[in-house]
């Protein structure tokens, strides 16, 4: 595989080099790169910068040497980067003659050196690199540790910058060290950097920038370092939930840390161990209305989580290294699904075990050709057990009782693979590769809803024993299948001029069960800096992004095929025995199938932005994004009763026929204003304001229109539409006395639908709206949240300074003003909660933190 990839890259690069034009100049910049023992460093990345904009790039040869020809005159800079060494930046004056060859000595990198250099260079300087878009969200560990991060969940904290319209059917795309993953796999202290919207039109990834999170983990270090964090929360420090009669007696404890260093004193072989132990004794707040009136109570929902990960990194030579990481996670949760209108009896217990082995090999084949190979082997098992075996009782937007009917077992063995070849020549940097994001053997035991679910349109009907619908599944719920997802890409980053970068890319995606073989997705982006100062960059791009289904729709297709599991729907059944006087075999079963013309949906996105360097330490970006979803997934009951409130279906041999189609559409427009850098002498951070509007006629593959015979009537505001969004993250340094981290989120309200509370078509969906009323016609209130972190570092040995052990104490306050942010508004006319919220975001909570770092 490597041979044909390399050959293809060489052919593409040769063709691109012939087409490129070379600016004439008579100066040369050259030098040699060595370590502190004067040994040559081979394969180091060397960039020639003009006003912090990369104009040329190369790698050091077998003797550690590098050379740039045809260099323009002026004051330039040479930046050298190599794994395990601190980045070096050397100023060079070119003209009236070529400067003398440079001799550069690289120091061994430490965590402090690495994060300081990156923060100075990459976060506050604009450039025409395709991956340096200033509307990206990029936070390093040195910044995240000073921010108010709930439960040290760095990924969750930054995920609020994602665009819900860009996440796709299978959810957020999480990329860890270049490999798509289900979880980060390491503790918070082992995370090096988190990025969102980095290079949004890269052909390497199947989702746009705001639909994916990229996480880079820390490698082992050649010197012994470590850290331990303890995080603690207790209900005595919290405010009371607005729907709780008494403050829930909650407590949360997190023990987390890392230890890294060389193996047997050999700096070429390093290790890193990370451990995370979470102990949650939390409670859910029930706020329902039953036959006897309001139901308000607190229910314990304890959870335990253990994550252990180990990393070995070894350099065979300066141009050949590997990284091996193993992680094991064990989670258990009790009384899940309870809260809001769901009563304690309808809860369930679950646990999950996951283990992953990730191997990464980086090979510098030549100074211009680099190959990276990554493979992930993993397995998971997750059972769900209902607390109550009885039938489920659903009274629309009043209460949910009975059993959870959620009994199932999920098993998975998967392989994920990435092979990327990079070739640089002159003005071209060409990348191409193969992605296998999912090759999984999946097993599923579906024992859900075996006792059935009764649906009532109102409490009055429940008291009268008159359910609207009964839903039950019977049969063999076992399925085992192989899911295959494959992708490939090629991309050319072409520096047409020193101030103009153009990127061309093409991606191909394929998955089995959806036989759609023409999913070619072109991508194009550019970055242009007009004028001599190069403090302004105009950036734009466009691309096509194909969707994936994830495993659950495939499971439904394989189980509800008319042979394994049967789904039965009964309108106006008897209660509590819906089969009294008749046999279940006399009922026509429901099935799930694909539409004959189904194919993978895709999204078209284009954007244009203006970026400006305001000061040495701050930038401003104004960005417009248009996104259109084409042929999106939805479901329809193509055997729905023709006349409402009757039971006669067009095909009497079947009940509900759920047909999965690719026929939905969406449209969103957004204007983003982003600021990042130093705001005042003491405050540094980033702010983003987003003005947007989003419409669609489907919310995903499980969405059913109110009337399956009139799906186009669903076109309305998207469920996630929020007209205004403002986010701010930053830190205030009070003359080294303490640090104050600030997080602010301000959103306008999201819409919700007005419904009648009836099931006119007998499909147990209860999504019928009054005549002439569109979907999402009602508007919820806005959201406001301010979080603070106060922290103070204590250096234990003042003489050692940077090498001294450090103790940090901190106090976090989440929702510091204790604002009540209501959620889950009810638009059902028959509900006693009509027009009200049944839940709220958490009230003010305080979190104590202690950290030891050496």
Q: What is the CA radius of gyration of the chain?
A: 29
Q: Please give the average per-residue pLDDT across 154-166, as a whole number.
A: 88
Q: Distance (Å, rounded) from C-alpha 594 to C-alpha 561? A: 10
Which residue do the tokens 């993953």 mark?
181
Sign of CA dihedral 611, 613, 619, 620: negative
Q: 114 lies in a domain?
A: no
Are 192 and 101 in the same domain?
no
How many residues make up the chain in this entry?
854
Residue 848 in domain = yes
Shared domain for 470 and 607, answered yes or no, is yes
Q: Which residues contact 806 (CB under 8 A, 6 or more apart)?
A: 793, 794, 795, 796, 851, 852, 853, 854
pLDDT tens digits, one per residue of 186-233: 999 999 999 998 899 999 999 999 999 999 999 888 889 999 999 999
Per-residue pLDDT tens over the stretch 822-835: 999 999 999 999 99
Question: What is the DSSP secondary-structure string of 776-825?
Answer: T-EE---EEEEEEEEEEEEES-TTTGGGS-EEEEEEEEESTT----EEEE
Give the separation between CA 438 and CA 449, rounded to whole angstroms: 29
Q: Which of 606, 688, 530 is nearest to 134 (CA)?
A: 688
Residue 802 pLDDT > 80, yes or no?
Answer: no
Average pLDDT over residues 281-307: 96
Q: Which residue has the higher pLDDT, 113 or 467?
A: 467
Q: Are residues 545 and 596 in the same domain?
A: yes
Pick the residue with more confidence: 2 or 737? Answer: 737
Nearest to 59 by CA among 422, 419, 418: 422
- Residue 305 and residue 277 in contact, taking contact as beta carbons nearer than 8 Å: yes
**Which domain range does residue 213 map to?**
137-217
pLDDT at 3 over 90: no
Tell me the whole-structure pTM to 2 decimals. 0.84
Q: Which residue has tokens 């409402």?
A: 644
86 — pLDDT class (breaks 50, 70, 90):
confident
Per residue, the 3-state secondary structure of 468-488, as one string, reads CEEEEEEECCEEEEEEEEEEE
Which pLDDT does position 17 carry in this prediction? 34
pLDDT in tens, 7-19: 333 333 333 333 3
Let me know if residue 22 belongs to a domain.
no
531 by DSSP, 3-state: which? Answer: coil
Rounded distance, CA 178 to CA 132, Å?
18
Question: Of 217, 233, 261, which residue sits at a domain end?
Answer: 217
Q: Exposure of 533 by Cβ count < 10 A (0-12 exposed, 13-18 middle, 19+ buried)?
A: exposed
Mean pLDDT, rounded, of the chain: 88
Q: Is the pLDDT of residue 236 over 80?
A: yes
Looking at the fold, whether 96 and 145 belong to one and the same domain comes out as: no
Give per-residue pLDDT as tens, 536-585: 999 999 999 999 998 999 999 999 998 999 999 999 999 999 988 665 55
Question: Given a cut of 60, is residue 118 above it in pLDDT?
Answer: no
pLDDT category at 53 given cuts 50, 70, 90 is low
In a domain, 126, yes or no: no
Residues 172 and 295 in one domain: no
Q: What are the φ and ψ backbone dihedral angles of 553, each rounded to 5 degrees?
A: -60, -35
Q: How confident is the model at residue 99 (pLDDT cuts 50, 70, 90)?
A: confident
User: Which residues pair with residue 167 across a beta bridge?
Assistant: none
Q: Across 175-184, 480-489, 586-595, which has the greatest mean pLDDT?
A: 480-489
Mean pLDDT, range 613-619, rounded to an integer: 87
In a domain, 605, yes or no: yes
**Which tokens go with 584?**
């279940």
> How many domains does one find in the chain?
3
In this structure, are 143 and 240 located in the same domain? no
Res 111: pLDDT: 30
Q: Give yes or no: residues 245 and 179 share one domain.
A: no
pLDDT > 70 fraction of the chain, expressed in percent and rounded: 92
- Tell me the CATH number at 301: 2.40.170.20
Residues 105, 155 share a domain: no
Residue where one domain finishes, among candidates 217, 252, 283: 217
Residues 473 and 421 reside in one and the same domain:
yes
DSSP 413-470: EEEEEEEEEEEEETTEEEEEEEEEEEEEEEEEEE-TTSS-EEEESSHHHHHTT--SEE
| 3-class DSSP state of 9 | helix
Distance CA 185, CA 390 (A): 37
Say if residue 124's pLDDT is above 50: no
Residue 754 and residue 842 in one domain: yes
Residue 796's CB: how many other CB atoms inside 10 A? 11
Q: Are residues 655 and 694 in the same domain?
A: yes
Residue 85 sits in a domain whose CATH number is 2.60.40.1120
Do the domain assignments include residue 503? yes
Of 378, 382, 387, nearest to 445 by C-alpha is: 382
The residue that leads in pLDDT, 205 or 49, is: 205
Q: What average pLDDT does range 842-849 have in this prediction?
A: 95
Same domain for 675 and 580: yes
What are all long-range contacts of 231-235, with beta carbons under 8 Å and residues at least 24 apart?
231/151, 231/152, 231/256, 231/847, 231/848, 231/849, 232/847, 232/848, 232/849, 233/845, 233/846, 233/847, 233/848
- Residue 299 confidence (pLDDT): 96
**Phi–psi pair at 778, nearest 5 degrees:** -100, 155
């Amino acid at each position: 595989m490597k041979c044909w990839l390399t050959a293809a890259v060489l052919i593409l690069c040769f063709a691109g080099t012939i087409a490129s034009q070379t600016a004439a100049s008579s100066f040369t910049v050259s030098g040699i790169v060595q370590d502190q023992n004067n040994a040559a460093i081979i394969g180091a990345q060397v960039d020639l910068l003009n006003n912090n904009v990369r104009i040329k790039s190369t790698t050091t040869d077998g003797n550690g040497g590098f050379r740039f020809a045809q260099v323009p005159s002026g004051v330039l800079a040479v930046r050298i980067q190599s794994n395990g060494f601190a980045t070096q930046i050397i100023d060079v004056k070119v003209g009236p003659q070529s400067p003398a060859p440079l001799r550069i000595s690289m120091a061994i990198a430490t965590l402090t050196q690495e994060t300081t250099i990156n923060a100075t260079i990459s976060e506050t300087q604009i450039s025409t690199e395709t991956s340096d878009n200033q509307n990206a969200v990029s936070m390093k560990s040195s910044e995240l540790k000073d921010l108010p991060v709930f439960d040290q969940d760095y990924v969750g904290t930054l995920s609020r910058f994602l665009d819900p319209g860009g996440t796709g059917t299978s959810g957020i795309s999480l990329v860890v060290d270049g490999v798509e993953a289900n979880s980060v796999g390491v503790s918070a202290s082992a995370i090096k950097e988190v990025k969102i919207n980095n290079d949004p039109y890269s052909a390497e990834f199947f989702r746009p920038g705001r639909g994916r999170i990229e996480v880079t983990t820390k490698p082992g270090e050649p010197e012994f370092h470590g850290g331990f964090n303890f995080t603690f929360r207790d209900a005595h420090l919290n405010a009371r939930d607005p729907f709780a009669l008494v403050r829930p007696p909650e407590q949360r404890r997190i023990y987390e840390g890392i230890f890294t260093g060389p193996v047997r004193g050999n700096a070429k072989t390093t290790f890193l161990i990370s451990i995370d132990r979470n102990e949650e004794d939390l409670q859910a707040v029930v706020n329902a209305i039953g036959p006897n009136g309001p139901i308000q109570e607190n229910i314990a929902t304890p959870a335990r989580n253990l994550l252990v990960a180990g990393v070995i990194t070894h350099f065979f030579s300066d141009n050949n290294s590997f990284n091996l990481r193993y992680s094991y996670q064990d989670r258990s949760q009790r009384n899940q699904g309870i809260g809001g209108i769901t009563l304690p009896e309808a809860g369930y217990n679950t646990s999950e075990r996951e283990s992953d082995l990730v191997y990464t090999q980086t090979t510098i084949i030549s100074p211009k050709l680099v190959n990276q190979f990554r493979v992930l082997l993993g397995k998971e098992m997750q059972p769900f057990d209902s607390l109550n075996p009885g039938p489920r009782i659903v009274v629309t937007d009043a209460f949910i009782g009975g059993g959870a009917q959620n009994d199932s077992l999920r098993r998975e063995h998967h392989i994920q693979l990435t092979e990327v070849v990079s070739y640089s020549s002159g003005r071209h940097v060409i990348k191409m590769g193969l992605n296998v994001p999912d090759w999984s053997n999946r097993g599923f035991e579906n024992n859900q809803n075996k006792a059935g679910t009764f649906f009532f349109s109102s409490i009055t009907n429940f008291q009268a024993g008159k359910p609207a619908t009964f839903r039950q599944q019977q049969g063999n719920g076992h399925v085992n299948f192989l899911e295959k997802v494959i992708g490939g890409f090629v991309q050319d980053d072409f520096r047409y001029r020193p101030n103009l970068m153009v990127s061309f890319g093409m991606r191909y995606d394929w998955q089995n069960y959806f036989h759609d073989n023409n999913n070619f997705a072109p991508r194009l982006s550019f970055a242009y800096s007009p004028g001599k100062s190069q403090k302004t960059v105009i950036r734009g791009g466009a691309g096509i992004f194909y969707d994936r289904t994830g495993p659950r729709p495939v499971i439904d297709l394989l189980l509800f095929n008319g042979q394994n599991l049967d789904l039965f729907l009964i309108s106006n059944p008897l209660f509590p025995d819906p089969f009294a006087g008749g046999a279940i075999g006399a009922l026509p079963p429901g099935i799930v199938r694909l539409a004959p013309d189904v194919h993978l949906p895709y999204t078209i996105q284009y954007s244009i932005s203006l970026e400006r360097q305001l000061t040495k330490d701050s930038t401003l970006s104004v960005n417009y994004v248009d996104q259109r979803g084409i042929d999106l997934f939805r479901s329809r009951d193509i055997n729905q009763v023709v006349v409402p409130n009757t039971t006669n279906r067009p095909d009497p041999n079947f009940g509900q026929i759920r047909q999965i189609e690719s026929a939905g559409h969406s449209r969103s427009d957004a204007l983003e204003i982003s600021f990042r850098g130093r705001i005042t002498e003491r405050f540094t951070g980033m702010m983003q304001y987003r003005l947007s509007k989003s419409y669609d006629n489907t919310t995903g593959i499980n969405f059913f229109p109110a009337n399956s015979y009139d799906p186009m009537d669903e076109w309305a505001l998207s469920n996630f539409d929020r007209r205004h969004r403002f986010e701010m993250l930053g830190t205030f340094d009070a003359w080294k006395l303490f640090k104050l981290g600030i997080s602010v989120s301000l959103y306008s309200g999201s819409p919700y639908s007005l419904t009648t509370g009836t099931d006119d078509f007998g499909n147990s969906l209860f999504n019928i709206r009054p005549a002439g009323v569109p979907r999402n016609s009602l508007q919820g209130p806005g959201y406001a949240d301010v979080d603070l972190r106060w922290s103070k570092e204590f250096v234990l040995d003042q003489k050692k300074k940077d090498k001294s052990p450090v103790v940090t104490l901190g106090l976090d306050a989440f929702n510091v003003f204790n604002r009540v942010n209501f959620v889950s508004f009810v638009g059902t006319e028959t509900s006693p909660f009509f027009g009200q919220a049944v839940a709220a975001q958490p009230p003010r909570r305080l979190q104590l933190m202690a950290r030891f770092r050496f």
